[in-house]
A and B are shown apart, each in its own frame.
Chain A
């Protein structure tokens, strides 16, 4: 076995760090949009709003039932072929679209389960003082569901950060894309990819810390 080229690895760190912000942006924007979409889907499903409910079921089924990579290729290569106006979709946009729709489908189901899990008496109490459905969702049910859903949602966020690496297949130079290029130039594949792996790992570890902090905060109301 050859000795690891540690010097090369250390030199690679600042190079790859320049591409980390794009990775975080893809995941950050994807997560915010996916959360909004997932909350809407979940409410539609819980309240069984006609038509929208059926459309949501089909949407969730498709985006959970097909691989993310296939979805990304559909958005990036497929749609512009059908609609020439969509050739403006660049790799970054297609990635954000794909991540948003794919993960919103998963998250909608966890949020729905968390909403359904909130005790019925909470809804009745809110109705009894004259709240509207919107008010009781916003002020009573969703805050309580958030606490239940948080660990699962953080898991999806972690998954999404790693899934941004698929963007390199659409020609986006984020952390994975940059690593690929560096490795192809130096032929030091192991060194390059282990540096990238450690970077993803550190980001995810920091997120786990954030998760612990949020869980403690959200559990404040439930400690005896």
Chain B
């Protein structure tokens, strides 16, 4: 379970997240939508401590931290409970696909080499890239790189996987294979928080859709409700614009 209480993030005088309260159940698939620059990515980055939140408390699994009092150890522990999938994949450029996935098991979890590579191979199998084990990121397509990025996040055995616009950098031809893998994970009830503009993914896969604007949660609910019967005018306005270019 994930629980955020009054989570805020300020960049200087700009308030990017303004007291977010949010609870996510184990196995829940949450899709976060909203206009650009409204704090969606920042929210995910705060949960992974890639950004230091300004105030609030966060609970992930059995770990609760007050972000202002978080020690170095708390931050490491929090990061280890939450896996992150980046928009630009961010695979380790000096490591092969297999090594990218095994890296965390080897270095952070201190697994013995054989066991870590064994597990990494299983994950490569699951993401359909067993034949790319020894390929370096530079030689892979965007879609393949992002699938390895998801594989790296899966290796963590994390409480939640945070997806930050995972298909936004992809050429259209690779989007489906990445969304397909995410659907597969969702069907296994891996807890996920996904920031995306892929409205069809939100409609088909999400248990809950959250609309964020101006650092606030404006509206949330099951996709059928948000897409067909939005209550807040800002939600209506946003959906109208995005569905015009990105029909469901």
Q: What separation, in Å, do the CA atoms of A222 and B90 have in the docked complex?
A: 14
B48 on interface, CB distance cutoff 8 Å: yes
A48 on interface, CB distance cutoff 8 Å: no
Contact of B108 among A121, A125, A129, A140 (CB under 8 A): A129
Is the Cβ of B48 less than 8 Å from the Cβ of A128? yes
Is the Cβ of B93 less than 8 Å from the Cβ of A221? yes
A139 on interface, CB distance cutoff 8 Å: yes
Q: Which residues of A contact B108 (CB under 8 A)?
A: 129-131, 135
B80 on interface, CB distance cutoff 8 Å: yes
Nearest Cβ on chain A to B16's Cβ, whole angstroms: 17
Q: Which residues of B contact A144 (CB under 8 A)?
A: 93-94
Stretch of B53-61, B81-89, B218-226 lying at the A interface: B81-89
Contact of A121 among B86, B95, B96, B136 (CB under 8 A): B86
Is the Cβ of B79 less than 8 Å from the Cβ of A130? yes
Is the Cβ of B136 less than 8 Å from the Cβ of A222? yes
Is the Cβ of B107 less than 8 Å from the Cβ of A121? no
Q: Which residues of A contact B88 (CB under 8 A)?
A: 121
Is the Cβ of A140 less than 8 Å from the Cβ of B136? no
Is the Cβ of A221 less than 8 Å from the Cβ of B86? no
Is the Cβ of B138 less than 8 Å from the Cβ of A222? yes
Q: What separation, in Å, do the CA atoms of A135 and B108 have in the docked complex?
A: 9
Q: Which of B65-83 contact A (CB under 8 A)?
A: 76-77, 79-80, 83
Is the Cβ of B103 less than 8 Å from the Cβ of A129? yes
Interface SS of chain A: helix
Interface string of A116-149 (1 = CB under 8 A from B): 0001011011111111100100011001100100
How many chain B residues touch the partner (CB < 8 A)?
28
Q: What separation, in Å, do the CA atoms of A221 and B137 have in the docked complex?
A: 8
Q: What separation, in Å, do the CA atoms of A143 and B96 have in the docked complex?
A: 14
**Given A121-B90, A125-B92, A129-B103, do A223 and B80 touch, yes or no (CB 8 Å)?**
no
A220 on interface, CB distance cutoff 8 Å: yes
Contact of A129 among B96, B104, B136 (CB under 8 A): B104
Q: Which residues of B contact A224 (CB under 8 A)?
A: 138-139
Nearest Cβ on chain B to A223's Cβ, whole angstroms: 7
Nearest Cβ on chain B to A67's Cβ, whole angstroms: 38
Contact of B79 among A121, A122, A129 (CB under 8 A): A129
Nearest chain-B residue to A124 (Cβ)? B50
Is the Cβ of A222 less than 8 Å from the Cβ of B86? no
Nearest chain-B residue to A132 (Cβ)? B76
B40 on interface, CB distance cutoff 8 Å: no
Nearest Cβ on chain B to A133's Cβ, whole angstroms: 10
Nearest Cβ on chain B to A118's Cβ, whole angstroms: 9
B197 on interface, CB distance cutoff 8 Å: no
Q: What separation, in Å, do the CA atoms of A121 and B84 have in the docked complex?
A: 12
Nearest Cβ on chain A to B52's Cβ, whole angstroms: 12
Is the Cβ of B139 less than 8 Å from the Cβ of A140? no
B152 on interface, CB distance cutoff 8 Å: yes
Nearest Cβ on chain B to A136's Cβ, whole angstroms: 9
Is the Cβ of A122 less than 8 Å from the Cβ of B92? yes
**Given A139-B103, A221-B138, do A127 and B50 touch, yes or no (CB 8 Å)?**
yes
Q: Which residues of B contact A128 (CB under 8 A)?
A: 48, 50, 79, 83-84, 86
Q: What separation, in Å, do the CA atoms of A92 and B84 have in the docked complex?
A: 53
Q: Which residues of A contact B156 (CB under 8 A)?
A: 129-130
Nearest Cβ on chain B to A109's Cβ, whole angstroms: 22
Most chain B CB neighbours (cut-off 10 Å) among A124, A125, A130:
A130
Q: Which residues of B contact A139 (CB under 8 A)?
A: 103, 107
Known: A220-B136, A222-B138. 14 other contacts (CB 8 A): A124-B86, A124-B90, A125-B84, A125-B92, A127-B79, A129-B79, A129-B84, A130-B80, A130-B108, A135-B107, A140-B92, A221-B94, A221-B95, A223-B138
Listed A/B pairs (20) with beta-carbon separation below 8 Å: A121-B86, A121-B90, A125-B86, A125-B90, A126-B92, A129-B103, A129-B104, A129-B108, A129-B156, A130-B77, A130-B80, A130-B104, A130-B156, A131-B107, A139-B107, A143-B94, A144-B93, A221-B93, A221-B95, A224-B139
Interface residues, chain A, CB within 8 Å of chain B? 119, 121-122, 124-132, 135, 139-140, 143-144, 147, 220-224
Interface residues, chain B, CB within 8 Å of chain A? 48-50, 76-77, 79-80, 83-84, 86, 88, 90-96, 103-104, 107-108, 136-139, 152, 156
